Amino acid sequence: MRGPMICAPLRIEHAAISGGLRGAQVIRTGMGAGFACSPRPILVAGVGGALTNQCLPGDLVVATEVRATDTTVASPSAPLLAGALRRAGLPVHLGPITSTARIVAGSARGALGATGALAVDMESAQLASAAGGAPFAALRAIVDTPEHPLLHLGTAVRGVQALRSLRAAAPAMQQWVDAIGPREVLLAGPRSFCAGVDRAIDTVGRALDRHGAPVYVRRQIVHNAHVVADLQRRGAVFVTELDEVPRGARVVLAAHGVSPAVHEQARSRELVLVDATCPLVAKVHHEVRRYADLGNTVFLIGHAEHEEVVGTAGEAPGHVQVVADAEQAARVQPADPDRVAYVMQTTLAHEDAEQTASVLRERFPAMTAPRSDDICYATTNRQHAVQQVAARSELVLVLGSANSSNSRRLAEVAEREHCTAHLVEDAGEVDLRWLAGVRKVGITAGASAPPHLVDDLVHCLSGLGPLTVAEHTVTTEDVRFALPRDSTLPRDSTQPKEAS
């Protein structure tokens, strides 16, 4: 593959971009079709016209694909380039760009806008073909819009605005150029949704299907922004506390579980409660109740501020002490050192949790332990898989939200293998600079992250050069949990929830 180049059709565009670059080659191609070169990665950048008034003068449009009468060329790396521009503080739109042979105005412009394209130019489609299947990206800074067409008052000012944006975009273009190259992707398996998350999302979906919107959900049903946004689009209303829910309405409790006080509040407000607490979290609640009923102080190893821990600790407020780490484990003081037990948050890193538990075991030899580790099968499997993938990668990308405990732990486990790791919400958060010179990328996703985010990221990386993708699966999972029933009644406080 020949080296990448940036193409700027006009002299003023070339000057604006060159001023902000460091090292990348910029070629002036001239206006319109006619430029030819041997196949190579191409990023075309210049000014353009918006086909929608949502794009303002000075805004940038990054092409997801470029279209001409007889051809359409996709640009899979567009979200990565758009992400780099957003991080630079620039206003960016992602969508199709159409190339035409001449300047369009009036009804012709309206007709192009109706196709869903965001911007129009005169070169991108032809330069996309010149790339010959190598990576391609197109970026246009808006001068004119349907409301403010060319050759009207203010065009010169808008032109200067667009050229300033182009210049400010140059460092992101440089990042795109630097990230071009062949790559291997190693996918950790298992990854993405676990049985508890599947069940919680299905619970909200089923409530919406059966009863219609709105269905209220206390807190994020699972810790993932994409899942929440998707359910919001379908009619779910997320609340922080139950007093925001109208009396008598239907409300789903999130997978992380809640304290008995929340159930009590639901009952007092006559809410129709659907409890989507993961059965494996409910099992830990049951353990806490059992140990506390026997008069034990219960050490809950976990992060005090995490919703799961708040809910679990609420089962026996006078008996539970949350222990964050080994250091805290060395200081805790139970009422009676001979009557102690411990449990764990389900999504901890195995190594950290074991260190903390071993300090407690050493200090309190009579301590009761759960029959098996509370860290759930999904957390265990995903950590094991990412550990192996990290050992074979230069960089690990973990898809998941920043407030997802199990996703954060995956990045930490990868880092322990001396591999650079980043937790990202989606492909748009991947910084192109992380990819410069990196040829082996491991990818995984937290238990709350939808699988399509992994597919999207792999697709984006395929737009930066030849990509080989391999699965590294450490085990397969066939765990399923039955969906919960609607209930207006408080749960039976003595029974754990059933897992099937």
> Which residue stretch of 18-26, 276-284, 309-317, 450-458 sits at the interface with ligand SF4 (rule: CB under 6 A)?
276-284
Q: How far is the CB of 380 from ligand SF4 (least distance, A)?
A: 9
Give the shortest CB-316-to-ligand SF4 separation in angstroms.
20
Beta bridge pairs of residue 440: 184
With respect to ligand SF4, which residue has the nearer C-beta, 145 or 277? 277
Task: Report how far residue 141's alpha carbon sits from residue 48's, in angstroms, rounded to the nearest whole number.
Answer: 6
Reading the block at residue 350, the tokens are 């195995």
Min CB(212)–ligand SF4 separation in Å = 27
Annotation marks residue 394 as catalytic: no
Output b/e per residue, 431-468; b: 16+ Cβ within 10 A.
ebebbeeeeebbbbbbbbbbeebbebbbbbbbbbbebe
Find the part of the chain contacting ligand SF4 (CB under 6 A) among 40-48, 166-174, 273-281, 319-327.
Answer: 273-281
Return the residue of 173, 281, 309, 460 that touches ligand SF4, per CB under 6 A: 281
Is the torsion defined by CA of 390, 392, 394, 399 positive or negative? negative
Nearest distance from C-beta of residue 480 to ligand SF4, angstroms: 11
Give the nearer residue to ligand SF4 in terms of CB position, either 224 or 393. Answer: 224
Q: Could you give the angle at the alpha carbon of 63 between the alpha carbons of 57 and 65, nearest 5°?
A: 145
Of residues 176-235, those binding ligand SF4 (CB under 6 A): 194-197
Instruction: Give me the amino acid identity at 151.
Output: L
Q: Which one, 120 or 228, has the nearer CB to ligand SF4?
A: 228
The DSSP result for 178-224, as a single string, is: HH-S-EEEEEEES-S--HHHHHHHHHHHHHHHHH-S-EEEES-SSS-
At its nearest, how many Å lie between ligand SF4 and the CB of residue 55? 41
280 lies in the binding site for ligand SF4 (CB under 6 A): yes
Which pairing describes strands 486-487 and 272-275: parallel, antiparallel, or unpaired? antiparallel
Q: Residue from 50, 138, 278, 300 that binds ligand SF4 (CB under 6 A)?
A: 278
Q: Which of 123, 307, 308, 425 is catalytic?
A: 308
**Where in 364-403 is the site for ligand SF4 (CB under 6 A)?**
376, 378-379
Provide the minimum distance between the beta carbon of 396 and ligand SF4 in the complex, in angstroms, as a whole number.
19
Helix (H, G, I), strand (E, B) or coil at 441: strand
Q: Are 350 and 305 in contact (CB under 8 A)?
A: no
Q: Which of 313, 314, 281 is nearest to 300 (CA)?
A: 313
Task: Say how many residues touch ligand SF4, by CB under 6 A.
Answer: 15
Which token pair is 252? 């789903």
Compute CA distances 95 → 51, 110, 175, 200, 344, whole Å: 11, 17, 20, 33, 46
Q: Is 406 in the site for ligand SF4 (CB under 6 A)?
A: yes
Residue in 222, 346, 279 with CA at minimum distance from that of residue 482: 279
Our CB check for ligand SF4 shows the closer of 90 and 483 to be 483
As a whole number of angstroms, the distance between CA 414 and CA 422 comes to 9
Provide the mask over 308-347, with x wherever binding to ligand SF4 is found by CB under 6 A and - wherever it is not.
Answer: --------------------------------------xx
**Alpha helices for 394-498 (secondary structure H):** 405-416, 432-435, 451-461
| Cβ 5 to ligand SF4 shortest distance, Å | 46
Shortest Cβ 325–ligand SF4 spacing (Å):
20
Looking at the Cβ atoms of 126 and 277, the one nearer to ligand SF4 is 277
**Which lies closer to ligand SF4 via its Cβ, residue 139 or residue 411?**
411
Amino acid present at 107: S
**Both tokens of residue 468?**
């080989």
Question: Is residue 135 part of the contact set for ligand SF4 (CB under 6 A)?
Answer: no
Q: Binding pattern to ligand SF4, positions 422-451, x when CB under 6 A?
A: -------------------------x----
Of 62, 204, 255, 273, the one binding ligand SF4 (CB under 6 A) is 255
Based on the shown chain and the rule CB under 6 A, indicate whether residue 276 belongs to the binding site for ligand SF4: no
**Would you tell me which residues interact with ligand SF4 (CB under 6 A)?**
194-197, 255, 278, 280-281, 346-347, 376, 378-379, 406, 447
Catalytic (active-site) positions: 308
